A and B are shown apart, each in its own frame.
Chain A
Amino acid sequence: MGFFDDKKDWLEGVFARYPERRAALMPLLRRAQQDNGWISPDIQEEIGQLVGTTATEVAGVMSFYSYYQALPTGKYHLQVCATLSCAIGGADELWDELVDELQILRGDVSDDGLFSIQKVECLGSCHTAPVVQINDEPYVECVTKARLHALLAGLRAGKSLEEIGLPGKAGHVVHNRGDEVGA
């Protein structure tokens, strides 16, 4: 049975948003990515039929964007920003720590099936460098070593992001008043 067979209403909702079906391509890819952690060739083919194009076109679009994964990912896909401000903030060291800790590289999934990692480009949170995004969740910001380990421990313990209390400076300034907000 196709991935979208039981999502007909949702599909209609998406199609209704655009004057042409083709435009639903990215929302459909995102839905599959969110639900499955990756987008299998079968689903790519299915999406092609749904939006009226070929599997080739779907692959062309999918591979253009870094969010869509062509290989299975862990329960928690950790995306580490590697761009300038984060690099200044220690992104490379953070990455090395992750690799050491999880013993995986880009494309792998940790044996417990929990983790996979990916370096990404600027996440738009340069002032809270370094930054990590897990799956499609709001960012984990100002990721110090302590916070990173607390984070991994919490996730291993099956806690949700909200439940995990991260130590140390969390907030950041985002406006003239100068007081801190944020997770």
Chain B
Amino acid sequence: MSETGPIVSGKDSRFEPTLYKYVGVDKSWTLDFYLSHGGYEAIKKAISMGQDAVIDEVKKSGLRGRGGAGFPTGLKWSFMPKNTGKQHYIACNADESEPGSFKDRYLMEDDPHQLLEGMMIAGLAIQATKGSIYIRGEYKRAYDRLEAARDEARARGYLGKGLFGSSFEFDVEIHRGAGAYICGEETAMMNSLEGLRANPRMKPPFPAQAGLWGKPTTINNVESLCSSVHIIQRGAAWFAGMGTEKSKGHKLFQVSGPFKRPGVYELPLGTTFRELLFDHAGGPTEPIQAIIPGGSSCPPLPWTDEILDTPMDYESITAKGSLLGTGGVIGIPTRMSMVDAMWNITRFYGHESCGKCTPCREGVSGWMVGLFEKIGTGQGKKGDVELLEDMLNQIEGRSFCALADAACWPVRGSLKHFRSQFVEAVEGGKALERAGSHWG
């Protein structure tokens, strides 16, 4: 294990978890606890650095959005207009609804002040005095802890006007969702915040020009914002010292499915699937046929040595024909037909389609779900696989937002690696076997 050069393994002795360092520690969510280990120092430093230096630092660090799209965070901040005289907003995307993802949840449950500080730093960088956290409605504990933290911060002068003896002003509102995956899409999220049906908005105008209530807005994921705290505190070089050439820093990876220790693991980008799934998650508890590398929208990859030894960074995974996404790895056991797995995921996207555009409403929510029902219940007929592929060609890249694409990618990936299972299911004329028959 090389202890020189960039850190690309959680086992590298130089690597130290930061984002999740205090997760699981009692009372970690209180202000006193946060202050006891240098909380709210980064924002002070940021204030002394000033807006431009902060943006530069984050740019240098190479941090890319952890919400799934992987857009460079510093660059995004630099898109915000300066001194418009208008209210600017920093909106935190805490909707975490992509199946297989649950990393933001514990950041908010056990380290809410870290997120508040991250929002302050972003606020400073984009001249936003108001922050809005859009948290998925089901995250009750996270919401309670966040709100308590926010109130505590307000009460003790860590939120409000003239912060830290400077002219810096910042406050945060928390908005609870109500069960709609699409609200994770940034423009739909803004509609939801404004009390409308959460249909995605047209771009342009981009949020930086006209976002929340028509004002300049930047949307960032929880993890992205939390990372910025440590980037400011320890410097871009420290962050860039981890990960690969184009994928810098560390990330929260999630493991679900039949493994000994499913959970969240904070590791450098570039760590291999094998290290995550065996060394950290303890290996599978039953035969696995495929993994979904980064949340349900990423094409599944076969359970092979080649894949297991692939470093988990944006480029390497893309090269294998999938995506890093949110870093939520789902293992699909051999006992579950890939057709069943895709039926489940397709049903999810069909259920979450907002219904605005034709390819997604009729194609994903209607047609694809219907076709899987047909095949899954043993009523498939010859040609259905080809028809499914043809549907993908008609839907992918043609919808209003990326939800329909997200529904197509995993199916396309499965067809690539597990086509035979589909053909069997169609021509076998039998209903699929239940996956969870072991439940008890």
Instruction: Report A's interface with B, CB cutoff 8 A.
Output: 17-20, 22-27, 29-30, 51, 60-61, 64-68, 82-85, 87-94, 120-130, 133, 136-139, 144-145, 172-179, 181
Contact check, B176 vs A87: say whether CB atoms are below 8 A apart. no
Given contacts A23-B195, A64-B198, A85-B257, contact A93 B263 (CB under 8 A): no
B389 sits at the interface (CB 8 A): no
Total number of B residues with any Cβ neighbor in A under 8 Å: 72
Q: List 30 A-B contacts (CB under 8 A).
A: A22-B194, A26-B177, A26-B195, A29-B178, A30-B137, A65-B177, A65-B198, A66-B179, A66-B180, A67-B137, A83-B344, A84-B292, A84-B332, A85-B100, A88-B332, A92-B435, A93-B436, A121-B348, A126-B102, A126-B257, A126-B328, A126-B330, A138-B141, A139-B138, A173-B263, A174-B20, A174-B263, A175-B263, A175-B264, A176-B17
Given contacts A26-B178, A67-B178, A94-B439, contact A178 B213 (CB under 8 A): no
Which among A19, A130, A133 has the greatest number of chain B C-beta atoms within 10 A?
Answer: A19
Residues in B neighbouring A145, C-beta threshold 8 A: 439-440
Q: A89: nearest residue on chain B (CB-CB)?
A: B436
State how many angstroms separate the Cβ of A178 from the closest Cβ of chain B: 7
Given contacts A26-B178, A91-B436, A125-B105, contact A176 B280 (CB under 8 A): yes
A84 in complex: contacting residue of B10, B99, B195, CB < 8 Å: B99
- 18 further A-B pairs in the complex, CB-CB below 8 A; given A27-B176, A88-B332, A176-B265: A20-B195, A26-B192, A51-B195, A65-B177, A66-B179, A68-B178, A83-B296, A83-B348, A88-B435, A90-B439, A90-B440, A92-B434, A121-B348, A123-B138, A124-B136, A127-B102, A127-B255, A172-B263
| Interchain CA distance A138-B296 in the complex, whole Å | 24
State how many angstroms separate the Cβ of A176 from the closest Cβ of chain B: 5
Contact check, A84 vs B100: say whether CB atoms are below 8 A apart. yes
| Interchain CA distance A133-B10 in the complex, whole Å | 33
Given contacts A88-B436, A124-B101, contact A175 B266 (CB under 8 A): yes
Nearest 3 pairs of A and B residues by beta carbon: A90-B439, A90-B436, A173-B263
Q: B144: nearest residue on chain A (CB-CB)?
A: A138
